[in-house]
Chain A
Amino acid sequence: MSNTERDKIDIRHKDAMCTNESELVHPWWYNLKYTFVGIVFGIVFVKAEIISWFRIQEMFQLSSFHMYGVIGTAVMVGIISVFLIKKLKIKTISGEEIHIDNKTFDKGQIYGGLIFGIGWAITGACPGPLFAQIGAGFGVVSITLLSAIAGTWVYGKYAEKLPH
């Protein structure tokens, strides 16, 4: 791998959770399977009321177990799944090995985490529910999403100057 290629991956890798270096090149419509997963996911978000501003207030006011149950169960299922994938060396449907990069610690996870947490309680939505809320007919949330994209852009612009 050349140096410039390595640099390119490093830039994307700042988002370690989302750096996917698949060697395979597929036609665009292969991506439709992710749309299908997204549809099921969006339905769950609405039907389990995870997109509800009220449920988020309950969570942060410790007046309901609902959101803790959702996130706790999801993490347990995720841990078991990842363990099994590693243990049984399960491959992707195209036969690639599955690898999960480790994320390195930087102070951004604390500062950024606190800032996101503040916004999460106010908007009653993390990024996933924003999309589901718009789909469910809460059109005004598109302003929240646009503002979140603006926040993303401003972070990108000043990323190097912020303490990490």
Chain B
Amino acid sequence: MLELLKSPWHWSVAGLMIGLTVPILLILGNKKFGISSSMRHVCAICIPANIPYFKYDWKKEIWNLFFVGGILIGGFIAAHFLSNDNSIIVADATRLKLDGYGITDYHSLLPSDLFNWDNLFTLRGLVFFVLGGFFVGFGTRYAGGCTSGHSIMGLSSLQLPSLIATISFMVGGFLSANLIMPFIFQLLK
């Protein structure tokens, strides 16, 4: 059993468990599944700066921070106790493209060619951590939710605005991965 848990899980198992988060959070306490809001609560708690958008009773949303704290702990448990080998098998077509970008390390879930502290103060670090992160935070709040809030929770309750948001996420991602990122990698070579 433990061996089974330690090998990579099938998408249907993951999809089922993520989907079940929606009713579980509703039944546990009328909570709507959403993750990016946690970053808004952090702003409201730490640096509200008298901005109306951050002036709300964040204590009522504190469950969300308990939830994301759990995700962090879960990540630790999975990586340290439920993994034999963290290397990843990537589709040939994508591998070929990444080779061209100089990304060749498949020993862990994130390429060490990009995600290491040495890159922090380089142009790569600026683009992949600072700029990319900023886009994620700014964009999700502007859209009013992320993949969990819109694409899972919103679509589960059949909301049209969430479908529009999800399509926009995907369009942005396709543009980014196929047009912007090849250009960035060209620039950073």
Contacts and interface: CB of A to CB of B under 8 A. Distances in A.
A148 B31 contact: no
A47 B88 CA distance: 11
Contacts of B14: 44, 47-48, 50, 70, 73-74
Contacts of A157: 49, 51, 53
A12 B56 CA distance: 6
Nearest to A21: B60
Given A20-B60, A39-B77, A117-B170, A112 B144 contact: yes
B161 A103 contact: yes
A109 B140 CA distance: 9
A1 B68 CA distance: 31
Contacts, number: 561
A20 to B, nearest CB: 6
Given A35-B66, A38-B71, A49-B109, A92 B27 contact: yes
A145 B137 CA distance: 8
B102 interface: no
A63 interface: yes
Contacts of B11: 48, 65-67, 69-70, 73
Contact of B22 (A57, A78, A137): A78
Given A35-B69, A43-B78, A98-B30, A140 B137 contact: no
The 5 A-B pairs of least Cβ separation, nearest first, read: A117-B172, A38-B70, A42-B74, A73-B15, A113-B168
